[in-house]
Amino acid sequence: MKALIPSALRSYTDSAHAEIHGATLADALADLDRQYPGIRFRMIDEQNRIRPHIRFFIDGAQVFDLARPLDGIDELVIAQALSGG
């Protein structure tokens, strides 16, 4: 499946898109990390939770569960909130 990479994480991929595989969101992120070491840690914390500033969208719906099955999914959108002041 195609993953859309946010601009803040493109230093890992050098591209806006990556081709990833996995039966679940967790598997797909592990595959992404195999291809681009260190990128998963920017999205998932030490307790295996999605970091507060990261959002995952599958078929336009936000996903909160890393165990979410990805069977038949064509695209995963990874969004990163930016803050400042």
pLDDT digits (tens, 9 = 90+) for 33-84: 999 999 999 999 999 999 999 999 998 899 999 999 998 888 999 999 876 6
49: domain CATH number is: 3.10.20.30
Instruction: Determine contact, residues 24/66, Cβ cutoff 8 Å.
Output: yes
Question: Which stretches does DSSP call E strand in the chain?
Answer: 2-4, 17-19, 54-58, 61-63, 75-80
State the number of CA atoms in the 13 A half-sphere of 8 facing the CB: 10
Does residue 11 lie within any of the structural domains?
yes
Does residue 56 lie within any of the structural domains?
yes
Supply the range of the domain harboring residue 57: 2-80
Q: Domain total for the chain?
A: 1
Does residue 85 lie within any of the structural domains?
no
Q: What's the whole-model pTM score?
A: 0.91
Question: Which tokens go with 61?
Answer: 């719906």
Does residue 61 lie within any of the structural domains?
yes
Does residue 68 lie within any of the structural domains?
yes
Query: What is the distance between the alpha carbons of residues 72 and 81, in angstroms, rounded to a whole number?
Result: 27
